[in-house]
Amino acid sequence: MKKLGIIGCGWLGNHLAERLSNQYEIFATTTTSSKIAALEAKGYTATLVSFPDEPNPEMREWNIASKLDAIIIAVPFSGLRGSKIPMTGKRENLLRFIGDFKGQIFYTSSTGVYPNSEKEFTEDDLPANEVESESFILEKFPQTNILRLGGLMGGERLLKNYNISNVDQPVNHIHYTDICSVVEKMLNNRSQSKVYNVVAPIHPNKEEVINAQKGLPFEGERTVIGRIISPEKLIKELDFEFQYPDPRYFHI
């Protein structure tokens, strides 16, 4: 069986592991020692490791890295909305941990790298080599696939559970099931050096989504102008069909 490494087996990492564990032997990392037993109970090989903000000269290459077929990095290495905050040490620790890996790499970035402007953004608007939180890994691992994820939703993550402002603004959300499907398809395609916006193609406003999740009607009008992240490149190049295209129905 092929071997898959997941660096950062948190909420998203766990969903990815569960989806892919029938095809790959899973090697997962966590920063919390209490989670080791839970990961191992699922049949994963777990490693305790953290990536501190300061460079750690004792950071060593992951002992399984050379045997892995692919690595998914599901640990945040950028600030909120892609803000430029010092993370040089944290990133250096990650690069040391991966070592000289030659296989497929998936790096979970965020649509937060795009400006907060009222327009529709595509990947061409902001090449990865111009994004500090993405270019650092491409410099050493040019084969890396950059996945710019929308707001992570699905399961217990519902918009109605959060304190929301500006409810007339459109959402750029993605259901974890579709993230897993994108990664699975790219693994099978042996994709390399791709940059994709991984966002549901329908963009209702926040109030529409919240009302749908509460079982309430929406009597307003959908905002047609706002910050929209386009997944058209993903849809076209991967011939991808979303299982959850409309964030109003993520809870169903």
pLDDT of residue 213: 96
Averages of pLDDT over runs of 10 residues in the chain (252 residues) are 97 98 98 95 97 91 97 78 62 95 97 95 97 94 98 96 94 98 98 98 96 93 88 98 98 93
Contacts for 162 with CB less than 8 Å, ≥ 6 apart? none
What pLDDT score does 82 carry?
Answer: 46
Assigned domain for 231 exists: no
- Please state the separation of Cα 215 from the chain's center in Å: 29
The 10 Å CB-count burial string (b at 16+, else e) for 202-218 is: ebbbbbbbbbbbeeeee
Total domains present in the chain:
1
Rounded to whole angstroms, the Cα distance separating 90 from 177 reads 29
Q: Is residue 51 part of a domain?
A: yes
Residue 235 covered by a domain: no
The three-class DSSP label of residue 69 is: coil
pTM value is: 0.95
Task: State the pLDDT at residue 86.
Answer: 52
The pLDDT value given to residue 83:
47
CA atoms of 120 and 188, how far apart (whole Å): 30
> At 197, which CATH number?
3.40.50.720
13 within a domain of the structure (yes/no): yes
Rounded CA-CA distance 218/107 in Å is 37
Show the domain range for 186: 3-158+173-201
Euclidean distance between CA atoms 9 and 67, whole angstroms: 19
Cβ within 8 Å of residue 119, ≥6 positions away: 227, 228
Query: What beta strand segments (E) does 96-170 contain?
Result: 104-110, 120-121, 145-149, 151-153
- Of residues 201, 97, 189, the one with CA closest to residue 145: 189
Spatial contact of 121 and 86, defined as CB atoms under 8 Å apart: no
Within a domain: 182: yes
Within 10 angstroms of residue 140's Cβ, the number of other Cβ atoms is 14
E strand segments, 144-220: 145-149, 151-153, 173-175, 195-198
Give the whole-angstrom CA distance, residue 59 versus residue 57. Answer: 6
> Is 187 within a domain?
yes
Rg (CA), the chain: 18
Q: Indicate whether 193 belongs to any domain.
A: yes
pLDDT of residue 220: 85
Q: β-strand 151-153 against 195-198: which pairing, if any?
A: unpaired
* Residue 104 domain-assigned (yes or no): yes
Are 93 and 52 a contacting pair, CB within 8 Å?
yes
- Cα–Cα nearest to 207, from 150, 149, 248: 248
Residue length of the chain: 252
- Of all helices (H) and strands (E), which one includes residue 70? strand 70-73
